[in-house]
Chains A and B, each alone.
Chain A
Amino acid sequence: MADKITLGYTHLSGCTGCTVALADNYAGLLTLLDKYVDLKYMPTLADARHIQKVDVSFVEGSVCINDKLAVQEIKETREKSAIVVALGGCACYGNITRFSRGGQQNQPAHEAYLPIGDLIKVDVFIPGCAPTPQMIRNVAVMAYLLLKGTKEQKDLATAFLTPLMKLTEKNEACFCELMTQVINQGLCMGCGTCAAACPVNAITMEYGKPQGERDLCIKCGACYSQCPRSFFSFDVVENYEAINEAIMAALQ
């Protein structure tokens, strides 16, 4: 269908958990594919063997810079996509691959991994390990509205995506961001969101403030990006009811 946007999915050094999160939209994914998105390239699900020219590319995983093919694929993804979305903690921030240091069979020299934003310009971040099905869905719907919607829908999509675009300014994540960017900045108000968002329970709340077990932290970026004092857009969040309804209606 001509009205659909085209989507590619580049799989680098990731675990396919982001793919599963996308699939975990269940019927919502089928509606997305029915009405809004034409999947042009996705090695896990389709037979196209080379990166295609698309409107939006999701990229899962970080880049092993010792692997020529991986470096070539991320560059090609950028060249062939209007919008590049880093999907999940690895693509955004390196995540667990930050801890890679080579020395394993049978590519002991595969030791250096970088989040994709260190090699190409990235437009949107969807952090999280795993990212949530709902966030992926919301971004997909908003990308559609941005490219195919009315003026009003484009404005909504821009407002919605802006915080996720701003996240791309930094390619490093850790529990420490809660210290350096929130507590140290006098912004923490002890709501506990970070502790709930952490996938490895590395955060507890001590007397109402985050305490990080940094040797547990896998550097996914969920805590900081979910924190209501990292980014908070009144224009968008105050309309949560209408926006949620619009997204749900789009997926009917």
Chain B
Amino acid sequence: MGAELGKYKSVVSARSTDKELLKHAQDGGIVTSLFAYALEEGIIDGAIVAASKEFAAKNPSKVMLDNSNFDMIEPWRPIPAIVNTKAELLAAAGTKYNISPNVALLKEATRAFGLDKIGIVGTPCQMQAVRKAQLYPIGFRDVGASIALAVGIFCMENFPYQSILQLVEDHAAMKLESVKKMEIGKGKFWVYGKRGQVVQLPLKVTHKYEQPGCHVCLDYVANLGDISTGSVGSPDGWSTVFVRSKIGDSVWAKAMAAGVFETQPIEKVKPGLELVTKLANEKITKNKATLEARKTFGVGKALRNPYI
């Protein structure tokens, strides 16, 4: 185990035992099942997730919108929302490859939404934000102790909304409305249409559309989640799951005992941890080089380094 995968207590390949749920899930349905189980058991009383335009239109009181109105929310643009039921969770399932500022709802969850035990899902940087807010709460009064389950998702990089629009509508020549699923895997950006068509783009095409702030990120597998999960390392329809903190360990053990997941030892699946480690190393090495280059970016002038 190297530092690139963070601290963890255990790692497995897993998927939800709920077949209905799997139909909506990006991979093994880990986040959706875990939160559904945690809601049912009272481990959390609400979860912050990345929902959709349809969800926001139906549940305006569960989202905190920016200045745009519902008509302005485009397909495949994630809207941070607070969900309290399994049905609402299902409506938010699936990866949206553009920015969902989930942490923006974290304080309000403990205020107007009245939550005492919050679940939050997010990318590695969002897990970092949550932990920083717990240790150094500057604008997060009384929030830290309310975070009951933080689930991190693996993330190589993210895209602004306009990038996804351009990738899907220009490069892949599909209308966003007609897209069923997007996926980055096996070195390609995959776009699946509702009528069954599949378009794949080489990742090389996507690079210039990446969010620049992702290029200084040194975390691939959400090292600071209680539990973190992602597709890499496991077969299609399964997820790789790291159980990291005491909270994560306790929730995962209970969910396993309740039969929420089926698992396989990570050593038994292909491509397994070897690929996860390789990709984590590639991301960290590349982004460390970016950070290094920022030191001499100008003439005798550096760009700022946040890591102190």
Contact = CB atoms under 8 A, between A and B. Distances in A.
Interface stretch (B23-31, B156-164, B169-177): B156-164
Nearest to A163: B308
A120 interface: no
Nearest to A206: B66
A15 interface: no
B125 A191 contact: yes
A188 interface: yes
B224 A240 contact: yes
B307 A208 contact: no
Contacts of A189: 99, 125, 158, 211, 213-214, 217
B245 A241 contact: yes
B68 to A, nearest CB: 8
A106 to B, nearest CB: 35
A127 B7 CA distance: 31
> A-side binding surface: helix, strand, loop or mixed?
mixed
Contacts of A199: 139
B54 interface: no
B227 interface: no
B77 to A, nearest CB: 8
Interface stretch (B102-110, B193-201, B232-240): B102-110
A138 interface: yes
A149 interface: no
Interface residues of A, number: 57
Given A134-B141, A192-B103, A238-B224, A187 B135 contact: no
A150 to B, nearest CB: 21
A153 interface: no
A140 B128 CA distance: 24
A244 B135 CA distance: 7
Interface of B: 6-7, 66-68, 77, 80, 98-108, 122-123, 125-126, 128-129, 131-142, 144, 158, 160-162, 211-218, 223-224, 245-246, 303-304, 306-308
* Residue among B106, B135, B138 facing the most chain A CB atoms (10 A cut-off): B138
A109 B212 CA distance: 49
A127 B106 CA distance: 19
Contacts of A226: 132-133, 136-140
Contact of A207 (B136, B161, B214): B161
A197 interface: yes
A63 interface: no
A162 interface: yes
B136 A190 contact: no
A158 interface: no
Nearest to B306: A229
B308 A196 contact: no
A131 B131 CA distance: 18
A171 interface: no
B99 A208 contact: yes
A191 B102 contact: yes
B30 to A, nearest CB: 21
A208 B138 contact: no
Nearest to A166: B308
A189 to B, nearest CB: 4
A181 B138 contact: no
A188 B215 CA distance: 10
Nearest to B247: A241
* Residue among A188, A193, A211 facing the most chain B CB atoms (10 A cut-off): A193
A187 B125 CA distance: 11
Contacts of B126: 191-192
Interface string A175-216: 000000100011111111101111100001111110100000
* Residue among A204, A208, A230 facing the most chain B CB atoms (10 A cut-off): A208
A133 B141 contact: yes
